[in-house]
Structure 1
Amino acid sequence: MPAGAHARWWARAAAAISLALCLLGAARALAAVPEAACPALGLSFARADIPSLPRLCFLRDAAHALGPEDILGGRAPMERRDADQLVFRQNQSVYWVYAPLRNLEPAARTWFLQLDYPLLDEVDVWVYDLGTDPATDLAPDPAEDSAEDPAPGAAPRLLRTARMGDARPFDARPVRHRLFLMPLDFGPGQRLAVVLRVRSSGAINIPLSLHSGASAIGWAQDHGLSQGMFLGALAMLALFNAALYLRLRIRQSLYNTAYILCAGLFLTSMSGLSFQYLWPDWPWLANRSVPLTETLAILSLLWFTRHFLAIDAGRWPRQARLMRLLAWIGAGLLAASLLVPYSLIIKIDTVYALACMVAMFGLGLRHLRQGERAARWYVLSWLVFFAGYLAYGLAAFGYIPGFMAQERWMQVALGSQMFLLTYAEVMQLHDLMRRALEIEASARSSLQYEVQSRTADLRATMGALEQANRQLRELTLHDPLTGLLNRRGLDEALARFAANEGAAPRGTLVIFDLDHFKRVNDVHGHEAGDAALRWVAEVLLNLLRRRSDVLARFGGEEFVALLPATSLEDAIILAAGVLEHVRRNAVELDDGSTIALTLSAGAAHWREGETPQSLFRRADENLYRAKAAGRDRLVADGES
């Protein structure tokens, strides 16, 4: 071989060896973040729960330019921090977390990686197999296919991925839970690498914890029990206030009921329960529900405060103007919650909520100085609430760690406030009743007879007025000749019929018309015509009258029968019976003479999506066809 060719051969061989070494180095760099930088966390039976993963590697990706391979390859410098300290205020960056884990047990085991902060838009998880720990001397399991394990130094093998977050459908989560859970299946001595990518329009908390399978189930049961007890207590308070309103018609009880329900929805939205159970298929509502329910709760509390403290424009003009101003601002924010980006509206809503709370607390103090006994409980409820709300808000916005602990404290504070507000209502009612009894006792001793006399007169007058109102309503809704409903009464009945969404099928409408009624008036006189109309009304009442049926005289000689929950076939049978009865029986007049009558009828059955007007129009068209076909007959849907 010539010397030049020999040199070229050695140069090519050296280049090939250099390329191979570079590729091998790249593969090893991709295999894992260096152990010295991010050591693996050992998992064993001795410790079933790790409440906060220690010394996690993480980095902030402000340019959104990295991928999971970059994290595995250690291509970007990472910081280390305990998981409960991974708390960041609102920003547009992506956060990456790298968690290498190692099974120290000689048996397969399942762990659950849990992210204890539900208000995150995007949570992406990649789980990689790093192979079996060479330092762990474990006998191979013949049931496991060890040929699939990566060789030492080989690139990690992607096992599974998950794309979660409240900006995505709830069913995309591998475990149906309000928090983010990722099952991790370890083989004996197996090492796994978990890479997380987190992005959100609000504050970012990444409190990661690990639980064994049995421990995760127990934790979920305990947490479900505590959440159920809290929500059940709120439901009982809401029912109690609703009962107070229904029994006594006290406005503040109604608004307190609304506040309890809206505040409960706010907490369930913050905790992820609303997304899990109420709107799992509407990710856009998962974030929007937070400012919406927060604003609704504040508006309800504003109106409760106004009525509880009796803030009216005559006695407290400035306070009344302040309440109206805050209410109008809240109404505007309620609409803005559907349009303004979440990252902005949640800040505005929080500032608005704090301003309203401070204003309501100040109003309570003002009325307490005026000597109102019930105001002391109102003020105390705010003092209890502020402690929990401030801690909860600071945790939610990323200023302090421990969101789950603050969530429980917020539940205690909110539940205590609602109880104290309800107790303040009861005490106010007690004071009102006590003052009423004192007034009654004083009046009884001096003017008992006069009070009783005037009370009796007033009751009699109110009774007479109520009776007159009932009679007036009867006159406005009923036909004076036949006693059936008139056109106005029929319109109201049709409106109720159309609004009754639970009826299936809705029912059938039948229109009856006296044949040749003008001839009856011309030959026998109008008195005979009135007698014929009354007789037809009695026939309808006797043959069609059920508790749910509606009978009306529509005008002139037309009658309408509205038969709810009646099929077209049954309605045809009933209407045919009416026609047969009228045909076979004549009307007897006062002078002994008789008039033979016949009826024509048109029937129409309710169709899905129909309106009362279209139902009436179809029945009227069928009646017209019955008239055109010779009268004394019934035409229904589908008949000619």
Structure 2
Amino acid sequence: MTVTAKRFAALLILFLLSAVGLLASCAPQNIDTVRLRPKAEAGVLDMTGMAMNKSIALDGEWAFYWKKLLSPEQQEQRAPDTYVQVPSAWGANSAVDVERYGYATYALTVKHDRQAPHMGLLIPSISSAYTIWVNGERIWDNGRVGTDERRMDPHKEQQIVTIPSAEQETRIVIQVSNYMHPRSGITESIELGPVMTLSREQFKQAAYDMFLAGGLCLIGLYHVGLFLMRRNDKAPLYFAVFCLVISLRSFLTGDTLIYRFAPSVPWELSARAEYLCLAVSVISFTLFLRQVYPKEMSKRFIAVIISLSAVYGGMIALFKLRHFMFLLPYFQIVIVVAMSYALFVFVLATFRRRERAAISVGGALLLTLSVFNDVLYNQGLIQTGYLVPIGLLIFIISHSFILGMSYSKSYALSQEWAAKLQLLNSSLEEKVKERTIELEEANRWLERQTLIDGLTGIANRTHFNAVFQRMMEKTAPGRSIAFFLMDIDHFKKYNDTYGHVAGDECLKRVAGAIHDLAEQNQGTAARYGGEEFVMIAETTTEEAAELADRIVTKVRNLLIPHSASDTGPWVTLSCGVVAYTPKAEAAASLVSFIQQADQALYKAKEKGRNGYVYEPFIVQ
């Protein structure tokens, strides 16, 4: 790498790091400086004396009632089974035995001073159905809660709901049921605050997600265009698929933008699409790396990663939701291994001084870190949010720089070669003339070849059709056109007895005999197909029958042995012939000749073969 290239790589990596900071600062924040973070204890969140002008995450210990769907009235009369931390899966820190799938009731009492008007809750996606009451009033249903899988309808959507005002405390009761998603319960923070504040935060999040998803989609389509212009290079295609599926996944996760555009999308369909995007992204990214760095990628590793991803993708398409969702942590291990190996490939390519590999390392490192973040966030180990779209966007920026440099280098090379070509033009003119003459001769030879049957050396069907039209137009007055259709008797038996090589030699000799007679009578013979031949000649009616007899006799006199024939020890031929005198008022077509000659040939075979049948042509 030159000094200039090294400087450029360093500047690019610095730019990528700056871009990460910029995008991270633009992303919706989840830190204490933006939202107040009091913690609930024993099902009570004490906010007395605190201002209600900001959003507050209702995190901490919620009252938990396992295998009970309680109304607010019933919940007030029962002691909780235990207290669980929110946000987290309901079995993560419960003091009671809690299964992965089932149903439960959460309850929280928020104590505060007089509540400001127009307060609301920002409710995240809770897997996979819930009903929420606030101060005894049922304010929202997400899907339909049920005590078993058949009685519930899942749904996934982030929602802002306005809550009824209260003087000193707000009581929240949430029924949750889940029989599909591997993480059950309230796994993301529910926020309380002014509706305008919550709406503003939701809008920022949606705008941020739209920016990332739209940017990835546009860049994916751009790479599709690159592939369409250079289809021999598959790298842009695989990279485009990778960008597009990550863009689609951005619509299906987080703020679930898909429901803003298509509220009626079934939860099961969106869940399958979300998980299928993971499998397709791993496959497409692996194939992309193989195209870019084939010498650094292990073929066995590629086969293993693609096979595992394809199997998981097939399970997503065919199996029940809970089955493939249950396997997600294992597939996430595959993703982590694949991304770690991808980073290794980029570093290895850099050490081997592959062109511009050093520039890719910065973007690849950030993308790998974002994948690790998403895996940890999906498992509930960290609360950062999904960052793969950011990492991918940074990686795409680095890739776009590389692509621009490649095109710049290609353009410089093309300019250099253009200058060299101008110097060679004068000497090439004479060579071009010589090559032109050679090409003209070759074209004439090829033209002749297109009119000749490759095996027998006589005219082929295309040439015969043209000759037929000319003869129909130029036949002398009073003369007839005789059309002969011939077939070698029992030729299949000949091939079965003597073999196809001998069969080819037989066809050549018979074709030669027919061709000689055609030339002697100013006619044209051609191979019609297989062991069938046609001939056309300008004759009288009597001459047509005589010529047909001469053809049959000459083929028989070739004395080509045919022990399997029913007509004798030699190869014989059957012939059907029709004759026609052209008339201005009634023209005859080639198809009519073939049909009537074929009928005459059939009659010749019916009479015992090794002969001919002549019939006058009937204009139809």
| 1:332 partner amino acid | V
Could you tell me how far 1:427 is from its partner in structure 2? 2.9
1:417 aligned to which of 368, 378, 395: 395
What is the aligned partner in structure 2 of residue 57 from structure 1? 62
What is the aligned partner in structure 2 of residue 209 from structure 1? 191
Q: Aligned partners of 2:296, 2:110: CA distance in 1, in Å?
A: 66
Write out aligned runs for 1:520-559 (5 A).
528-529=587-588
Q: Is the 8 A contact 1:164 1:180 kept in 2?
A: no
Q: Could you say what secondary structure the match of 2:339 adopts?
A: helix
Q: Is 1:399 equivalent to 2:381 in the alignment?
A: yes
Q: Aligned partners of 1:246, 1:345: CA distance in 2, in Å?
A: 37
What is the aligned partner in structure 2 of residue 113 from structure 1? 121
Distance 1:43 1:308, change over 3 A: farther
What is the aligned partner in structure 1 of residue 107 from structure 2? 98
Q: Could you say what secondary structure the match of 1:366 adopts?
A: helix
Q: Is 1:241 equivalent to 2:223 in the alignment?
A: yes
Q: Could you say what secondary structure the match of 2:385 adopts?
A: helix
Q: Is the 8 A contact 1:60 1:95 kept in 2?
A: yes
Distance 1:43 1:354, change over 3 A: same
Q: Is 1:428 equivalent to 2:433 in the alignment?
A: no
Distance 1:73 1:526, change over 3 A: farther
What is the aligned partner in structure 2 of residue 28 from structure 1? none
What is the aligned partner in structure 2 of residue 3 from structure 1? none
Q: Aligned partners of 2:213, 2:86: CA distance in 1, in Å?
A: 32
What is the aligned partner in structure 1 of residue 53 from structure 2? 48
| 1:296 partner amino acid | V
Q: Could you say what secondary structure the match of 2:63 adopts?
A: strand
What is the aligned partner in structure 2 of residue 624 from structure 1? none
Q: Is the 8 A contact 1:103 1:186 kept in 2?
A: no
What is the aligned partner in structure 1 of residue 130 from structure 2? 123
Could you tell me how far 1:357 is from its partner in structure 2? 1.8
Q: Is the 8 A contact 1:308 1:425 kept in 2?
A: no
Q: Aligned partners of 1:318, 1:190: CA distance in 2, in Å?
A: 61
Could you tell me how far 1:210 is from its partner in structure 2? 1.2
Q: Aligned partners of 1:286, 1:241: CA distance in 2, in Å?
A: 26
Distance 1:163 1:240, change over 3 A: closer
Q: Is the 8 A contact 2:340 2:368 kept in 1?
A: no
Could you tell me how far 1:284 is from its partner in structure 2? 1.3
Q: Could you say what secondary structure the match of 1:59 adopts?
A: strand
| 2:122 partner amino acid | Q
Percent of aligned positions that are identical: 11
Q: Aligned partners of 1:432, 1:332: CA distance in 2, in Å?
A: 40
Could you tell me how far 1:120 is from its partner in structure 2? 1.9
Q: Could you say what secondary structure the match of 1:528 adopts?
A: coil
Q: Could you say what secondary structure the match of 1:48 adopts?
A: coil
Could you tell me how far 1:196 is from its partner in structure 2? 4.2
Q: Could you say what secondary structure the match of 2:318 adopts?
A: coil
Q: Is 1:336 equivalent to 2:345 in the alignment?
A: no
Q: Is the 8 A contact 1:113 1:208 kept in 2?
A: yes
Could you tell me how far 1:296 is from its partner in structure 2? 0.9
Q: Is the 8 A contact 1:336 1:345 kept in 2?
A: no
Write out aligned runs for 1:249-268 (5 A).
249=231, 250-268=233-251
Larger mean Cα displacement after TM superposition, 78-87 or 389-398: 78-87
Q: Aligned partners of 2:88, 2:433: CA distance in 1, in Å?
A: 69
Structure 1: gaps spanning 5 or more residues: 1-34, 130-157, 483-520, 534-554, 557-594, 598-640
Write out aligned runs for 1:157-236 (5 A).
159-160=138-139, 162-164=141-143, 178-186=157-165, 191-197=170-176, 199=178, 201-204=181-184, 205-236=187-218
Q: Aligned partners of 2:354, 2:435: CA distance in 1, in Å?
A: 35
What is the aligned partner in structure 2 of residue 586 from structure 1? none
Aligned residues: 411
Q: Is 1:380 equivalent to 2:362 in the alignment?
A: yes
| 1:251 partner amino acid | K
Q: Is 1:389 equivalent to 2:371 in the alignment?
A: yes
Q: Is the 8 A contact 1:111 1:183 kept in 2?
A: yes
Distance 1:78 1:71, change over 3 A: farther
* Deviation string, structure 1 residues 293-319 (Cα, Å, up to 9, x no partner): 11111111122212222x2xxxx4973
Distance 1:372 1:451, change over 3 A: farther
Could you tell me how far 1:395 is from its partner in structure 2? 1.2
Distance 1:334 1:169, change over 3 A: farther
Could you tell me how far 1:331 is from its partner in structure 2? 2.3
| 2:127 partner amino acid | L
1:78 aligned to which of 78, 82, 85: 82
Q: Aligned partners of 2:81, 2:285: CA distance in 1, in Å?
A: 49
Q: Is the 8 A contact 1:378 1:420 kept in 2?
A: yes
Distance 1:54 1:366, change over 3 A: closer
What is the aligned partner in structure 2 of residue 294 from structure 1? 278
Bigger Rg over Cα: 2
Write out aligned runs for 1:488-503 (5 A).
none
Q: Is the 8 A contact 2:133 2:140 kept in 1?
A: yes
Q: Could you say what secondary structure the match of 1:338 adopts?
A: helix
Distance 1:432 1:424, change over 3 A: same
| 2:183 partner amino acid | A
Q: Is the 8 A contact 1:103 1:187 kept in 2?
A: no
Q: Is 1:347 equivalent to 2:325 in the alignment?
A: no
Q: Could you say what secondary structure the match of 1:58 adopts?
A: strand
What is the aligned partner in structure 2 of residue 21 from structure 1? none
Q: Could you say what secondary structure the match of 1:91 adopts?
A: coil
Structure 2: gaps spanning 5 or more residues: 1-39, 94-98, 451-460, 470-579, 597-618
Q: Is the 8 A contact 1:259 1:301 kept in 2?
A: yes
Distance 1:411 1:220, change over 3 A: same
Q: Aligned partners of 1:399, 1:429: CA distance in 2, in Å?
A: 43
Q: Could you say what secondary structure the match of 2:264 adopts?
A: coil
* Deviation string, structure 1 residues 431-476 (Cα, Å, up to 9, x no partner): 4444555566677778994599679969x98xx99xx99xx9xx99
Q: Aligned partners of 1:326, 1:448: CA distance in 2, in Å?
A: 56
Distance 1:448 1:240, change over 3 A: farther
What is the aligned partner in structure 2 of residue 151 from structure 1? none
Q: How much is the aligned-residue C-alpha RMSD, in angstroms?
A: 5.0
Higher relative contact order (CA 8 A, sep 6+): 1
TM-score, structure 1 as length reference: 0.53
Q: Aligned partners of 2:119, 2:151: CA distance in 1, in Å?
A: 24
Q: Could you say what secondary structure the match of 1:418 adopts?
A: helix
* Deviation string, structure 1 residues 187-225 (Cα, Å, up to 9, x no partner): 666744333436462235131111322223322332232
Distance 1:370 1:184, change over 3 A: same
Q: Is the 8 A contact 1:203 1:396 kept in 2?
A: no
| 1:247 partner amino acid | M
Q: Aligned partners of 2:434, 2:280: CA distance in 1, in Å?
A: 44
TM-score, structure 2 as length reference: 0.54
